[in-house]
Amino acid sequence: MSKLPNEAFRDTIGTIDEEGKRKFIFPKKPSGKFYDYRKWVSYFLLIILVANPFIKVNGNQFMMFNILERRFNIFGFPFWPQDFYIFVLFMIVGVVFVILFTVIFGRIFCGWICPQTIFLELVFRRIEYWIEGDRGAQIRLSKQEWNEDKIKKKGFKWFLFLLISFAIANVFLAYLIGSDALIQMIEDGPETHTSTLIALSIFTGVFYFIFVWFREQVCIIACPYGRLQGVLLDNKSINVAYDFVRGEKEEGRAKFNKQEDRASTGKGDCIDCKQCVNVCPTGIDIRNGTQLECVNCTACIDECDVIMESVGLPKGLIRYASEDEIEKKEPFKFTARMKGYSAILLILVGILTGLLFLRTEVEAVILRLPGQLFEHKGDNISNIYTYKVINKTNNDFKDIHFELVGIKGTLKLVGNQHLKVVKQGMSSGTMFIEINQNLLESDKTKLKIEVYDGNKKIETSTTSFLSPRSFD
Ligand code: SF4
Ligand code: SF4
């Protein structure tokens, strides 16, 4: 990009003053085509976000991230700790998708999809505009003494913010521990679930702090995705951008003068009204070029379009465009970098789909007890094993038993010979296998064990059987 005369903006961020103190931003209330679209997208996404933990697919919560029990449901697929590799791959696919998306469309995710932006800009700030009024009224209110009017407005706003933070904390908890568990806890009452109540209070406090005070600092300082923009974006990425060629022309930006024929003066189309700055929720001036703080919220596009219309100039001085499109008039191209990321994404999605289809609903793990060799029992050799049967289905297994196949021998569980494994549950224990030593052909025989629920075979597992080295 051509170098703009004043680069001082690079030394500071819009939300910190010269003394290093927090500077609160009072953005003008956005309005316009993109803001309306964003409102509809936000309603849709908020419904999905709130409904997700309460939707069930085949009895499984649609989305669940139970970190404590290491159980995750994604799109209704339950992932156990044993499926962790699939979950990790799922996350990698997500990251590559976001990278590809960012390389092509810049920070479109931040402006349109990110829950932080949606809650801050399209929930909390809208309440703020409703109670405190637009930018000017908010600035006046913040400067005025604590009189009755200010106490009422601020108190009401903070009360509503607290209620919404509490509601968000509940939804967050439903993702973490599961909606069934959350509903059960609500029915039982808070006194029987003190630890959950403490967690809920902490989450509420965190959300309240973020939306009342920390706000856009999340995007500017804390968000790792925001920090990655510098490496992901290039001149071909589409971003909310100021058309500096048109806006500055030969003579630079200048105030609008009704009396002059602007086209003949060489002045740029930007009339320096600063409305794009006033409306920006991160307090930046988009005319300085692509900046880390810009969350691509499109508010400046809408605002500038209104100004351009009012002075009879074409809209789109600020618009979605790549730097090459603005500077070299190059149309969008699917670059080699984009092709590379797309290819990686396709391969990963292919592997993930394959793994999802190959993933078994029942898992039986039979392992020799560590440190134990074998035992002679007359003509028989005995090995001891631990077993684990995981039921990932939504049906209880009421009559699980094991059968040795391909070789004659006995298999005995310690305790009950027939197991029960409840849905989404696990059963584990110890078993002995005894085989006549004349039947063994090596000191380490591979065994195949079938697992049945009643008469139905549900899984086949393998393990090894040790015996003396008398076969050499
Ligand atoms: S809103 Fe448009 S015309 Fe006004 S300062 Fe911003 S870019 Fe220039
Ligand atoms: S510069 Fe424009 S798109 Fe970027 S955050 Fe500010 S208002 Fe939103």
| Residue 472 scores a pLDDT above 60 | no
Return the structure tokens found at 399: 């009559």
Average pLDDT over residues 435-450: 90
**Rounded CA separation 389/421 (Å):** 8
| Residue 2 scores a pLDDT above 70 | no
Q: What are the tens digits of pLDDT across the range 71-86?
A: 888 888 888 777 888 8
| Residue 7 scores a pLDDT above 70 | no
Instruction: With beta carbons less than 8 A apart as the criterion, state whether 438 and 470 touch.
Output: no
Return the structure tokens found at 124: 């909390």
Instruction: With beta carbons less than 8 A apart as the criterion, state whether 1 and 289 touch.
Output: yes
Q: Assess whether the C-beta atom of 303 lies below 6 angstroms from ligand 1.
A: yes
Nearest listed ligand to the Cα of residue 9: 2
Atom of ligand 2 nearest to the CA of 298: 3
Q: Assess whether the C-beta atom of 254 lies below 6 angstroms from ligand 1.
A: no
Task: Among 61-70, 133-142, 269-278, 430-439, name the one with the lowest average pLDDT.
Answer: 61-70
Total Cβ atoms within 10 A of residue 47: 10
Q: Assess whether the C-beta atom of 295 lies below 6 angstroms from ligand 2.
A: yes
Considering the chain, what is the average pLDDT of its residues? Answer: 89
| Residue 116 scores a pLDDT above 60 | yes
- In this structure, the residue with its CA closest to atom 2 of ligand 1 is 304
Nearest to 94 by CA among 345, 339, 355: 345
- In this structure, the residue with its CA closest to atom 7 of ligand 2 is 280
Q: Assess whether the C-beta atom of 298 lies below 6 angstroms from ligand 2.
A: yes
pLDDT at 433: 94
In DSSP notation, 253-318 reads -----TTS-HHHHT--S-----HHHHT-TT---GGG-S-TT-----HHHHHHHHHHHHTT--S-SE
Q: What are the tens digits of pLDDT across the range 167-192?
A: 999 999 999 999 999 999 988 888 88
Average pLDDT over residues 9-35: 84
Q: Assess whether the C-beta atom of 165 lies below 6 angstroms from ligand 2.
A: no
